[in-house]
A and B are shown apart, each in its own frame.
Chain A
Amino acid sequence: MMHASRTSIALFATSLAAVGGAAGFLLWPALAASDARTAECGRLLSQAARHDEVAAERDRMRSGLAEARTAAARVLRTIPAAAEQAHLMRMLAVGADDGMGTQTIVAGDAVPATPSGNGALHAVPVTIDMKATFARVMEVLVRAEGDRRLVRPIRIEIERPSEEKGARGAAPSDNLVEARIELDAVYGSAGVPQQQGEGER
Protein backbone atom coordinates (compact mmCIF):
# COMPACT_ATOMS: atom_id res chain seq x y z
CA MET A 1 0.00 0.00 0.00
CA MET A 2 1.43 3.39 -1.11
CA HIS A 3 0.90 6.40 1.14
CA ALA A 4 1.84 9.90 -0.02
CA SER A 5 3.07 12.20 2.69
CA ARG A 6 0.58 14.48 4.45
CA THR A 7 2.54 17.53 3.32
CA SER A 8 2.26 16.58 -0.32
CA ILE A 9 -1.47 15.93 0.05
CA ALA A 10 -1.95 19.31 1.76
CA LEU A 11 0.02 20.97 -1.02
CA PHE A 12 -2.16 19.20 -3.58
CA ALA A 13 -5.30 20.39 -1.85
CA THR A 14 -3.93 23.94 -1.74
CA SER A 15 -3.09 23.81 -5.45
CA LEU A 16 -6.57 22.52 -6.22
CA ALA A 17 -8.08 25.40 -4.23
CA ALA A 18 -5.80 27.84 -6.06
CA VAL A 19 -7.05 26.56 -9.43
CA GLY A 20 -10.67 26.85 -8.26
CA GLY A 21 -10.05 30.32 -6.86
CA ALA A 22 -8.30 31.55 -9.99
CA ALA A 23 -11.11 30.21 -12.18
CA GLY A 24 -13.95 31.43 -9.96
CA PHE A 25 -12.63 34.73 -8.70
CA LEU A 26 -10.38 35.90 -11.53
CA LEU A 27 -11.10 34.17 -14.82
CA TRP A 28 -14.89 34.02 -14.63
CA PRO A 29 -15.38 37.74 -13.70
CA ALA A 30 -12.80 38.73 -16.30
CA LEU A 31 -14.65 36.77 -18.99
CA ALA A 32 -18.00 38.20 -17.91
CA ALA A 33 -16.60 41.73 -17.94
CA SER A 34 -15.01 41.07 -21.28
CA ASP A 35 -18.34 39.93 -22.70
CA ALA A 36 -20.04 43.07 -21.40
CA ARG A 37 -17.24 45.24 -22.76
CA THR A 38 -17.42 43.53 -26.12
CA ALA A 39 -21.13 44.24 -26.28
CA GLU A 40 -20.51 47.87 -25.25
CA CYS A 41 -17.76 48.11 -27.88
CA GLY A 42 -20.18 46.85 -30.49
CA ARG A 43 -22.75 49.44 -29.44
CA LEU A 44 -20.19 52.24 -29.41
CA LEU A 45 -18.74 51.27 -32.76
CA SER A 46 -22.17 51.04 -34.32
CA GLN A 47 -22.86 54.50 -32.84
CA ALA A 48 -19.63 55.78 -34.31
CA ALA A 49 -20.71 54.44 -37.67
CA ARG A 50 -23.89 56.56 -37.34
CA HIS A 51 -21.90 59.78 -36.86
CA ASP A 52 -23.25 61.50 -39.95
CA GLU A 53 -26.80 60.45 -39.18
CA VAL A 54 -26.55 61.68 -35.57
CA ALA A 55 -24.93 64.94 -36.70
CA ALA A 56 -27.80 65.47 -39.15
CA GLU A 57 -30.31 64.82 -36.36
CA ARG A 58 -28.48 67.31 -34.13
CA ASP A 59 -28.64 69.92 -36.89
CA ARG A 60 -32.36 69.25 -37.35
CA MET A 61 -32.93 69.58 -33.60
CA ARG A 62 -30.93 72.82 -33.49
CA SER A 63 -32.88 74.42 -36.31
CA GLY A 64 -36.16 73.11 -34.85
CA LEU A 65 -35.30 74.58 -31.48
CA ALA A 66 -34.29 77.89 -33.04
CA GLU A 67 -37.67 78.03 -34.80
CA ALA A 68 -39.47 77.07 -31.60
CA ARG A 69 -37.59 79.79 -29.70
CA THR A 70 -38.51 82.38 -32.30
CA ALA A 71 -42.15 81.28 -32.28
CA ALA A 72 -42.20 81.25 -28.47
CA ALA A 73 -40.57 84.69 -28.25
CA ARG A 74 -43.50 86.04 -30.30
CA VAL A 75 -46.18 84.68 -27.98
CA LEU A 76 -44.62 83.70 -24.68
CA ARG A 77 -45.35 86.02 -21.76
CA THR A 78 -43.35 86.25 -18.59
CA ILE A 79 -44.78 85.32 -15.23
CA PRO A 80 -42.94 87.35 -12.60
CA ALA A 81 -42.39 85.89 -9.15
CA ALA A 82 -43.97 88.90 -7.45
CA ALA A 83 -47.10 90.91 -8.25
CA GLU A 84 -45.09 93.92 -9.53
CA GLN A 85 -48.07 96.25 -9.39
CA ALA A 86 -46.01 99.36 -10.12
CA HIS A 87 -45.21 98.14 -13.61
CA LEU A 88 -48.83 97.22 -14.10
CA MET A 89 -50.10 100.66 -13.07
CA ARG A 90 -47.56 102.43 -15.28
CA MET A 91 -48.57 100.27 -18.21
CA LEU A 92 -52.29 100.88 -17.78
CA ALA A 93 -52.25 104.57 -16.88
CA VAL A 94 -53.17 106.95 -19.70
CA GLY A 95 -52.46 110.68 -19.63
CA ALA A 96 -55.39 113.09 -19.75
CA ASP A 97 -56.15 114.66 -23.14
CA ASP A 98 -59.14 115.35 -25.40
CA GLY A 99 -59.86 111.68 -25.90
CA MET A 100 -59.58 110.90 -22.24
CA GLY A 101 -62.12 111.84 -19.61
CA THR A 102 -61.36 109.97 -16.45
CA GLN A 103 -59.53 106.84 -15.55
CA THR A 104 -59.57 104.96 -12.25
CA ILE A 105 -57.40 101.95 -11.67
CA VAL A 106 -58.07 99.71 -8.67
CA ALA A 107 -56.07 96.62 -7.81
CA GLY A 108 -57.77 93.91 -5.79
CA ASP A 109 -56.55 91.13 -3.53
CA ALA A 110 -54.63 88.34 -5.16
CA VAL A 111 -56.62 85.25 -6.11
CA PRO A 112 -55.51 81.81 -7.34
CA ALA A 113 -54.73 81.94 -11.05
CA THR A 114 -56.99 78.99 -11.88
CA PRO A 115 -60.42 77.99 -10.55
CA SER A 116 -59.02 74.77 -9.10
CA GLY A 117 -56.35 76.76 -7.29
CA ASN A 118 -53.74 74.19 -8.26
CA GLY A 119 -50.18 75.32 -8.63
CA ALA A 120 -48.35 78.26 -7.19
CA LEU A 121 -49.65 80.84 -9.63
CA HIS A 122 -51.72 83.77 -8.44
CA ALA A 123 -53.33 86.72 -10.12
CA VAL A 124 -53.82 90.34 -9.10
CA PRO A 125 -57.20 91.54 -10.35
CA VAL A 126 -57.05 95.07 -11.69
CA THR A 127 -60.17 97.05 -12.58
CA ILE A 128 -59.92 100.06 -14.85
CA ASP A 129 -62.92 102.37 -15.05
CA MET A 130 -62.60 104.80 -17.92
CA LYS A 131 -64.52 107.48 -19.64
CA ALA A 132 -62.68 107.99 -22.88
CA THR A 133 -62.97 107.66 -26.61
CA PHE A 134 -63.36 104.15 -27.92
CA ALA A 135 -59.87 104.43 -29.40
CA ARG A 136 -58.30 105.23 -26.02
CA VAL A 137 -60.16 102.37 -24.37
CA MET A 138 -58.87 100.04 -27.06
CA GLU A 139 -55.39 101.46 -26.62
CA VAL A 140 -55.38 100.49 -22.94
CA LEU A 141 -56.78 97.05 -23.71
CA VAL A 142 -54.29 96.36 -26.48
CA ARG A 143 -51.43 97.61 -24.33
CA ALA A 144 -52.41 95.32 -21.47
CA GLU A 145 -52.96 92.26 -23.65
CA GLY A 146 -49.87 92.86 -25.75
CA ASP A 147 -47.57 93.28 -22.78
CA ARG A 148 -44.60 90.97 -22.30
CA ARG A 149 -46.07 90.09 -18.92
CA LEU A 150 -48.97 87.62 -18.78
CA VAL A 151 -52.07 89.78 -18.32
CA ARG A 152 -55.44 88.23 -19.14
CA PRO A 153 -58.83 89.83 -19.58
CA ILE A 154 -61.60 88.80 -17.18
CA ARG A 155 -64.47 91.09 -18.03
CA ILE A 156 -64.84 93.94 -20.49
CA GLU A 157 -67.81 96.29 -20.60
CA ILE A 158 -67.87 99.14 -23.05
CA GLU A 159 -70.99 101.26 -23.27
CA ARG A 160 -71.84 104.30 -25.28
CA PRO A 161 -74.11 106.63 -23.28
CA SER A 162 -77.49 106.61 -24.98
CA GLU A 163 -78.65 109.64 -26.94
CA GLU A 164 -81.32 110.28 -24.31
CA LYS A 165 -78.68 110.29 -21.56
CA GLY A 166 -76.48 112.45 -23.74
CA ALA A 167 -79.27 114.95 -24.08
CA ARG A 168 -79.57 115.16 -20.34
CA GLY A 169 -75.80 115.16 -19.87
CA ALA A 170 -74.07 118.35 -20.57
CA ALA A 171 -71.44 118.02 -23.20
CA PRO A 172 -71.91 117.10 -26.81
CA SER A 173 -68.22 116.24 -26.51
CA ASP A 174 -69.49 112.89 -25.64
CA ASN A 175 -68.27 110.62 -28.25
CA LEU A 176 -66.71 109.26 -25.08
CA VAL A 177 -67.64 105.78 -23.97
CA GLU A 178 -67.81 104.34 -20.49
CA ALA A 179 -65.65 101.30 -20.06
CA ARG A 180 -64.86 98.91 -17.29
CA ILE A 181 -61.93 96.63 -17.96
CA GLU A 182 -61.16 93.87 -15.49
CA LEU A 183 -57.78 92.23 -15.98
CA ASP A 184 -55.68 89.70 -14.15
CA ALA A 185 -51.92 90.03 -13.89
CA VAL A 186 -50.53 86.56 -13.25
CA TYR A 187 -47.54 86.05 -10.98
CA GLY A 188 -45.90 83.36 -8.90
CA SER A 189 -43.79 80.37 -9.70
CA ALA A 190 -45.06 77.08 -11.00
CA GLY A 191 -41.72 75.62 -11.89
CA VAL A 192 -41.87 77.84 -14.94
CA PRO A 193 -38.43 79.13 -15.82
CA GLN A 194 -38.33 82.89 -16.01
CA GLN A 195 -37.37 84.71 -19.12
CA GLN A 196 -34.49 87.00 -19.78
CA GLY A 197 -35.17 90.68 -19.30
CA GLU A 198 -38.12 89.94 -17.10
CA GLY A 199 -39.55 92.48 -14.79
CA GLU A 200 -40.15 96.13 -15.24
CA ARG A 201 -39.09 97.68 -18.43
Chain B
Amino acid sequence: MSMHGVNLVPDRIAGRVRGGRASRRVLAASALLGATAIGLAGVARWTDARSSAQLAAARETSAPVIALEEEIAGLRAERAALERRVETQREVGVSIPASAVVRAVAASLPTGAMLERIDLDYANVQGTNKKIRRAGKGEDPQRELRGEIAGIAANESDVGRIIDSLTALAPMSQVSLESSRSREFRGRGAREFRIQFKVDLEKRWRLPEVASADEGKVAP
Protein backbone atom coordinates (compact mmCIF):
# COMPACT_ATOMS: atom_id res chain seq x y z
CA MET B 1 0.00 0.00 0.00
CA SER B 2 1.41 3.42 -1.03
CA MET B 3 1.99 6.04 1.78
CA HIS B 4 2.29 9.14 -0.52
CA GLY B 5 0.08 12.12 0.44
CA VAL B 6 -2.43 13.16 -2.05
CA ASN B 7 -2.90 16.96 -2.71
CA LEU B 8 -6.47 17.41 -3.46
CA VAL B 9 -6.33 21.27 -3.71
CA PRO B 10 -6.64 22.25 -7.29
CA ASP B 11 -3.77 24.25 -8.86
CA ARG B 12 -5.99 27.32 -9.38
CA ILE B 13 -6.84 27.49 -5.69
CA ALA B 14 -3.23 26.95 -4.68
CA GLY B 15 -2.12 29.75 -7.01
CA ARG B 16 -4.69 32.09 -5.53
CA VAL B 17 -3.44 31.29 -2.03
CA ARG B 18 0.15 32.00 -3.10
CA GLY B 19 -0.93 35.25 -4.77
CA GLY B 20 -2.74 36.37 -1.63
CA ARG B 21 0.39 35.68 0.40
CA ALA B 22 2.53 37.71 -2.00
CA SER B 23 0.05 40.57 -1.98
CA ARG B 24 0.11 40.64 1.80
CA ARG B 25 3.89 40.87 1.74
CA VAL B 26 3.78 43.71 -0.77
CA LEU B 27 1.14 45.46 1.31
CA ALA B 28 3.29 45.07 4.41
CA ALA B 29 6.25 46.60 2.57
CA SER B 30 4.00 49.42 1.34
CA ALA B 31 2.82 50.07 4.88
CA LEU B 32 6.44 50.19 6.04
CA LEU B 33 7.33 52.65 3.30
CA GLY B 34 4.30 54.76 4.12
CA ALA B 35 5.33 54.85 7.76
CA THR B 36 8.85 55.83 6.67
CA ALA B 37 7.45 58.67 4.55
CA ILE B 38 5.40 59.94 7.49
CA GLY B 39 8.49 59.65 9.69
CA LEU B 40 10.61 61.61 7.22
CA ALA B 41 7.99 64.35 7.04
CA GLY B 42 7.91 64.48 10.81
CA VAL B 43 11.68 64.69 11.05
CA ALA B 44 11.72 67.46 8.42
CA ARG B 45 9.12 69.43 10.31
CA TRP B 46 10.88 68.92 13.62
CA THR B 47 14.25 69.94 12.12
CA ASP B 48 12.70 73.05 10.61
CA ALA B 49 10.97 74.01 13.85
CA ARG B 50 14.08 73.38 15.91
CA SER B 51 16.39 75.40 13.63
CA SER B 52 13.85 78.23 13.49
CA ALA B 53 13.65 78.28 17.26
CA GLN B 54 17.44 78.31 17.55
CA LEU B 55 17.68 81.15 15.05
CA ALA B 56 15.02 83.14 16.88
CA ALA B 57 16.88 82.64 20.15
CA ALA B 58 20.17 83.67 18.55
CA ARG B 59 18.53 86.74 17.03
CA GLU B 60 17.13 87.69 20.39
CA THR B 61 20.53 87.25 22.00
CA SER B 62 22.28 89.30 19.34
CA ALA B 63 19.55 91.94 18.94
CA PRO B 64 21.42 94.56 20.98
CA VAL B 65 24.55 94.02 18.88
CA ILE B 66 22.54 94.21 15.66
CA ALA B 67 21.03 97.48 16.89
CA LEU B 68 24.53 98.74 17.66
CA GLU B 69 25.74 97.75 14.21
CA GLU B 70 22.81 99.52 12.58
CA GLU B 71 23.65 102.61 14.62
CA ILE B 72 27.29 102.35 13.52
CA ALA B 73 26.18 102.08 9.87
CA GLY B 74 24.07 105.22 10.35
CA LEU B 75 26.99 107.07 11.96
CA ARG B 76 29.27 106.00 9.09
CA ALA B 77 26.75 107.24 6.52
CA GLU B 78 26.44 110.57 8.32
CA ARG B 79 30.21 110.94 8.48
CA ALA B 80 30.51 110.13 4.78
CA ALA B 81 27.84 112.74 3.97
CA LEU B 82 29.73 115.32 6.05
CA GLU B 83 32.99 114.48 4.27
CA ARG B 84 31.26 114.76 0.89
CA ARG B 85 30.09 118.26 1.80
CA VAL B 86 33.59 119.28 2.85
CA GLU B 87 34.96 117.84 -0.40
CA THR B 88 32.37 119.76 -2.42
CA GLN B 89 33.47 122.92 -0.65
CA ARG B 90 37.10 122.12 -1.41
CA GLU B 91 36.24 121.61 -5.08
CA VAL B 92 34.08 124.70 -5.46
CA GLY B 93 35.37 127.12 -2.84
CA VAL B 94 38.90 128.38 -2.29
CA SER B 95 40.96 127.51 0.76
CA ILE B 96 43.11 130.62 0.73
CA PRO B 97 40.98 133.70 1.49
CA ALA B 98 42.03 136.93 -0.18
CA SER B 99 41.72 138.81 3.10
CA ALA B 100 44.29 136.49 4.70
CA VAL B 101 46.68 136.98 1.78
CA VAL B 102 46.33 140.76 1.94
CA ARG B 103 46.94 140.69 5.69
CA ALA B 104 49.95 138.41 5.31
CA VAL B 105 51.42 140.65 2.60
CA ALA B 106 50.86 143.74 4.75
CA ALA B 107 52.51 142.01 7.70
CA SER B 108 55.54 141.12 5.61
CA LEU B 109 56.36 144.75 4.90
CA PRO B 110 59.26 146.20 6.87
CA THR B 111 58.91 149.56 8.59
CA GLY B 112 58.96 152.38 6.10
CA ALA B 113 57.77 150.27 3.19
CA MET B 114 54.42 151.01 1.63
CA LEU B 115 52.10 149.12 -0.67
CA GLU B 116 50.70 151.02 -3.63
CA ARG B 117 48.85 148.22 -5.34
CA ILE B 118 47.84 144.65 -4.69
CA ASP B 119 46.25 142.38 -7.29
CA LEU B 120 45.01 138.90 -6.52
CA ASP B 121 43.69 136.80 -9.36
CA TYR B 122 42.07 133.44 -8.55
CA ALA B 123 42.66 131.71 -11.87
CA ASN B 124 40.62 128.77 -13.16
CA VAL B 125 38.17 128.98 -10.28
CA GLN B 126 35.16 130.32 -12.10
CA GLY B 127 33.28 128.70 -14.95
CA THR B 128 32.08 130.49 -18.03
CA ASN B 129 28.96 130.46 -20.12
CA LYS B 130 31.07 130.58 -23.29
CA LYS B 131 31.97 127.32 -24.98
CA ILE B 132 35.68 126.72 -24.54
CA ARG B 133 37.47 123.83 -26.22
CA ARG B 134 39.83 122.15 -23.86
CA ALA B 135 42.08 119.15 -24.31
CA GLY B 136 41.05 117.44 -21.09
CA LYS B 137 37.31 117.35 -21.49
CA GLY B 138 35.44 117.36 -18.19
CA GLU B 139 38.58 117.99 -16.17
CA ASP B 140 39.05 121.28 -14.42
CA PRO B 141 42.33 123.09 -15.05
CA GLN B 142 44.58 123.60 -12.03
CA ARG B 143 43.36 126.42 -9.84
CA GLU B 144 45.93 128.91 -8.65
CA LEU B 145 46.15 132.30 -7.07
CA ARG B 146 48.32 134.73 -9.04
CA GLY B 147 49.29 137.69 -6.95
CA GLU B 148 51.17 140.86 -7.68
CA ILE B 149 52.11 143.62 -5.29
CA ALA B 150 53.71 146.96 -6.05
CA GLY B 151 55.01 149.47 -3.56
CA ILE B 152 57.87 151.50 -2.22
CA ALA B 153 60.61 150.40 0.16
CA ALA B 154 63.37 152.42 1.76
CA ASN B 155 66.14 150.51 0.01
CA GLU B 156 67.04 147.35 -1.91
CA SER B 157 67.63 145.31 1.22
CA ASP B 158 64.08 146.07 2.39
CA VAL B 159 62.81 144.78 -0.97
CA GLY B 160 64.83 141.60 -0.36
CA ARG B 161 63.32 141.36 3.11
CA ILE B 162 59.82 141.56 1.64
CA ILE B 163 60.64 138.75 -0.81
CA ASP B 164 62.09 136.61 2.00
CA SER B 165 59.02 137.19 4.16
CA LEU B 166 56.66 136.26 1.35
CA THR B 167 58.70 133.16 0.47
CA ALA B 168 58.52 132.08 4.11
CA LEU B 169 54.72 132.04 4.01
CA ALA B 170 53.62 128.42 3.64
CA PRO B 171 51.20 128.66 0.72
CA MET B 172 53.33 131.04 -1.36
CA SER B 173 55.38 129.70 -4.23
CA GLN B 174 57.33 131.23 -7.09
CA VAL B 175 57.83 134.55 -5.34
CA SER B 176 59.73 136.66 -7.84
CA LEU B 177 60.87 140.24 -8.10
CA GLU B 178 59.50 141.61 -11.35
CA SER B 179 61.12 145.01 -11.13
CA SER B 180 62.90 147.28 -8.73
CA ARG B 181 63.89 150.82 -9.54
CA SER B 182 65.08 153.94 -7.78
CA ARG B 183 62.58 156.67 -7.24
CA GLU B 184 62.24 159.83 -5.28
CA PHE B 185 59.51 159.61 -2.70
CA ARG B 186 58.59 162.53 -0.43
CA GLY B 187 61.91 164.11 -1.18
CA ARG B 188 64.00 161.04 -0.35
CA GLY B 189 65.49 158.24 -2.41
CA ALA B 190 63.48 155.02 -2.33
CA ARG B 191 63.05 151.74 -4.23
CA GLU B 192 59.90 151.08 -6.16
CA PHE B 193 59.27 147.35 -6.45
CA ARG B 194 56.89 144.92 -8.10
CA ILE B 195 56.70 141.35 -6.81
CA GLN B 196 54.72 138.44 -8.15
CA PHE B 197 53.81 135.22 -6.39
CA LYS B 198 51.60 132.21 -6.81
CA VAL B 199 49.59 129.93 -4.51
CA ASP B 200 48.56 126.44 -5.55
CA LEU B 201 44.86 126.27 -4.72
CA GLU B 202 44.65 122.55 -5.45
CA LYS B 203 46.65 121.67 -2.34
CA ARG B 204 44.65 120.56 0.67
CA TRP B 205 45.04 123.72 2.71
CA ARG B 206 43.09 124.03 5.92
CA LEU B 207 39.68 125.43 5.08
CA PRO B 208 39.08 128.98 6.31
CA GLU B 209 36.74 129.32 9.26
CA VAL B 210 33.31 130.86 9.06
CA ALA B 211 33.25 134.19 10.88
CA SER B 212 30.01 133.27 12.62
CA ALA B 213 31.05 129.66 13.19
CA ASP B 214 29.50 129.53 16.64
CA GLU B 215 26.12 130.36 15.14
CA GLY B 216 26.21 127.64 12.56
CA LYS B 217 25.37 124.11 13.35
CA VAL B 218 25.78 121.24 10.99
CA ALA B 219 22.65 119.22 10.56
CA PRO B 220 23.10 115.69 11.81
Contacts and interface: CB of A to CB of B under 8 A. Distances in A.
B107 interface: no
Band of interface residues on B: 35 or more
Given A74-B210, A141-B102, A61 B82 contact: no
B19 interface: yes
A111 B122 contact: no
B116 to A, nearest CB: 5
A78 B65 CA distance: 36
Interface string B91-109: 1111001110011000000
A123 B26 CA distance: 91
B111 interface: no
Interface residues of A, number: 96
A73 B217 contact: yes
Contacts of B116: 159-160, 162
Given A3-B22, A4-B23, A41-B55, A18 B33 contact: yes
Given A30-B47, A33-B51, A54-B65, A116 B207 contact: no
Contacts of B22: 2-4
Interface stretch (B134-142, B161-169, B174-182): B134-142
Interface of A: 1-5, 7-9, 11-12, 14-16, 18-19, 21-23, 26-27, 29-31, 33-34, 37-38, 40-41, 44-45, 47-48, 50-51, 54-55, 57-58, 61-62, 64-65, 68-69, 72-79, 109, 111-118, 121, 123, 125, 138, 141-143, 145-148, 150, 152-160, 162-163, 181, 184, 186, 190, 192-197, 201
